[in-house]
Amino acid sequence: MTASNFPDVVANLKWHDHAVTRTMREELNGHRGCTLWYTGLSGSGKSTLANEVSAALHAMGVRTYVLDGDNIRQGLNRGLSFSEEDRRENIRRIAEVAKLFSDAGLVTGAAFISPYREERALARSLQPDTFLEIHVKADLATCEKRDPKGLYAKARAGEIRQFTGIDAPYEEPQNPEVVVDTAKNSLADCARLVVHALKQRRLIP
């Protein structure tokens, strides 16, 4: 065959002509692609809950992936500082990657403090129909007692500045799809609420 086969092929180079569509990927998986956006204070249990939900879904045959500080900060977002501009860019990139993962047909967890309503609104705006905001609540005293990374101690000692909940604001979600209180409920119970929200919206069977 010769290059003359290629005119058809070349016409294919647009997004909407992708040979495998999102719908085809979702049909193969038996569920929709979507993003579970976990927001809350440091120590509220976002990553832990995201992984617990992922495990529950995986056991049901649902394809999942979790984006969190551990796989983003030293990779895609390496080099970003904690300046206001870089924090916005940090969340913007995560939101764009979450959108790609939803498009790929996975139930995608994104576990980041994301303290500002504006940045969460941006993340939602990229995929309004497949975005669930999960407010991972725990009172500050509980989070500070857990202090999994010792960051509250450093913030109290003035070694870290602009720490959410101490000297930087956390803007609570006004209309999240799910609210869980990890200070009062077990991890398993919190995970069940999230899985239920997915079923209710027919994102998973």
Give, as one character, the DSSP assignment of residue 78: T
Question: What is the C-alpha to C-alpha distance for residues 176 and 132, in angstroms, rounded to an integer?
Answer: 7
The smaller minimum CB distance to a copy of itself, of residues 75 and 158, is found at 75
C-alpha distances in angstroms, 110 versus 16, 17, 37, 101? Answer: 26, 29, 5, 10
The smaller minimum CB distance to a copy of itself, of residues 118 and 169, is found at 118
**Shortest Å, Cβ 67 to a copy of itself:** 7
Question: What is the C-alpha to C-alpha distance for residues 142 and 43, in angstroms, rounded to an integer?
Answer: 8
Question: What is the C-alpha to C-alpha distance for residues 5 and 126, in angstroms, rounded to an integer?
Answer: 37
The smaller minimum CB distance to a copy of itself, of residues 104 and 168, is found at 104
* Footprint of a copy of itself (CB under 8 A): 1-3, 5-7, 9-15, 17-20, 24-25, 28-29, 43, 45, 47-48, 51-52, 54-55, 58, 61, 63-67, 70-71, 75-76, 93, 96-97, 99-101, 103-106, 126, 138, 142, 145-146, 148-149, 182-187, 189
Q: Which residues are catalytic?
A: 114
**Shortest Å, Cβ 196 to a copy of itself:** 18
**Shortest Å, Cβ 158 to a copy of itself:** 24
- The three-class DSSP label of residue 111 is strand
Amino acid identity of 30? G
Q: Which residue in this structure is represented by tokens 């939602």?
A: 124
Question: What is the C-alpha to C-alpha distance for residues 178 and 36, in angstroms, rounded to an integer?
Answer: 10
As beta bridge partners, residue 10 has: none
The smaller minimum CB distance to a copy of itself, of residues 6 and 82, is found at 6
**Shortest Å, Cβ 167 to a copy of itself:** 23
